Amino acid sequence: MATIAETKVPVNVKSLKAIQSEVKNINRIALSVDCVIFGFDENKLKVLLIRSDLKKFMGRWSLLGDLIDVAEDVDEAAYRILRERTGLKDVYLEQVHTFGKPQRHPAGRVVTIAYCSLINIQHHKLSKMENELHWHDVNNVKDLAFDHQQIFDTCYLRLQKRIQEHPLGFNLLPKKFSLRELQNLYEAILDTKMDRRNFRKKFFSMDLLIDTDEIERDVPHRPGKLYKFNFDKYEKRKKKWTGIDF
């Protein structure tokens, strides 16, 4: 039952000089970005991993990351890494969480900021050719280097939640997609099965899909219609939800 009066809260009385001194000389820490890059291929949710080159983690997989430059904006660092690793620029990228246990990196104190990215894997079809980079099935990701397993788990959980609240999934699909592809995507990310009719009803009732008047090609059965997502319409009608649900 301590009150502020009792606890004699120490107030902030540092001079700018003192702060500058601390900032410049004492408390400086290496900062990195780690990207959890998701893709969707063959009806599986995938994540892009690279083999760790550190002896300590010999042969184990890790996330794509790099140190942040002293003068570099943090978000910009994340975009830079994506650019360097995938050649892509205009992609979905979201900061998820910062991980800062003192012993998390063997090279010293490194605090890392995790970002989650969703990219269209079709643009990376040939990644199998690369020896060091690999698309992993998310259900098969384990024993990552550093604390990357925890970072991956956090980002995957975040993705599962966000995909239900925002139309992120379309970043993983081609511009034009069938409803079956869309449902496969949701089922893969949420690791669940959904009723096909109710799934369609739900998306049609949102009225955010544009019928392209095209149909699938090269499928060995009746082809489905192809749709585009109406991003403009979605942006215009973002609602403020005030239900309570827990």
Stretch binding its own copies (CB under 8 A), from 35-43, 107-115, 173-181, 223-231 = 107-115
Position among 28, 166, 175, 201 found at the interface with DNA (CB under 7 A): 201
* Cα distance between residue 216 and residue 39, in whole Å: 21
Position among 59, 90, 132, 221 found at the interface with its own copies (CB under 8 A): 132
Q: Structure tokens of 127?
A: 């990644």
Q: Binding to its own copies by residue 216, rule CB under 8 A? A: no
* Cα distance between residue 36 and residue 48, in whole Å: 7
User: How many C-beta neighbours within 10 Å does residue 221 have?
Assistant: 6
Q: Binding to DNA by residue 30, rule CB under 7 A? A: no
Least distance (Å) from DNA to the CB of residue 225?
A: 4
Q: Binding to its own copies by residue 233, rule CB under 8 A? A: no
Please measure the distance between the N-terminal and C-terminal CA atoms of the chain and give it in whole angstroms.
Answer: 30
Q: Binding to its own copies by residue 125, rule CB under 8 A? A: yes
Q: Binding to its own copies by residue 108, rule CB under 8 A? A: yes
Q: Binding to its own copies by residue 99, rule CB under 8 A? A: yes
Q: Binding to DNA by residue 219, rule CB under 7 A? A: yes
Q: Which amino acid would we find at residue 123?
A: H
Which of 160, 166, 172, 176 minimizes the C-alpha distance to 215? 176
Give 102: exposed, middle or buried? Use CB within 10 Å, 0-12, 13-18, 19+.
exposed
3-state SS assignment for residue 64? strand
Asked if residue 114 lies in contact with residue 155, where contact means CB atoms within 8 angstroms, the answer is yes
Least distance (Å) from its own copies to the CB of residue 24?
A: 6
Stretch binding its own copies (CB under 8 A), from 28-36, 37-45, 140-148, 222-230 = 28-36
Position among 107, 140, 220, 221 found at the interface with its own copies (CB under 8 A): 107
Least distance (Å) from DNA to the CB of residue 205?
A: 7
The smaller minimum CB distance to its own copies, of residues 131 and 220, is found at 131
Asked if residue 208 lies in contact with residue 230, where contact means CB atoms within 8 angstroms, the answer is yes
Q: Binding to DNA by residue 220, rule CB under 7 A? A: yes
Stretch binding its own copies (CB under 8 A), from 15-23, 142-150, 172-180, 213-221 = 15-23
Stretch binding its own copies (CB under 8 A), from 48-56, 145-153, 170-178, 210-218 = 48-56
3-state secondary structure 143-202: CCCCCHHHHHHHHHHHHHHHHHHCCCHHHHCCCCECHHHHHHHHHHHHCCCCCHHHHHHH
Give which of its own copies, DNA, none residue 23 binds (C-beta under 5 to 8 Å, depending on kind): its own copies
* Cα distance between residue 68 and residue 191, in whole Å: 34
Chain residues that interact with DNA, rule: CB under 7 A: 178-180, 195-198, 200-202, 215, 219-225, 243, 245
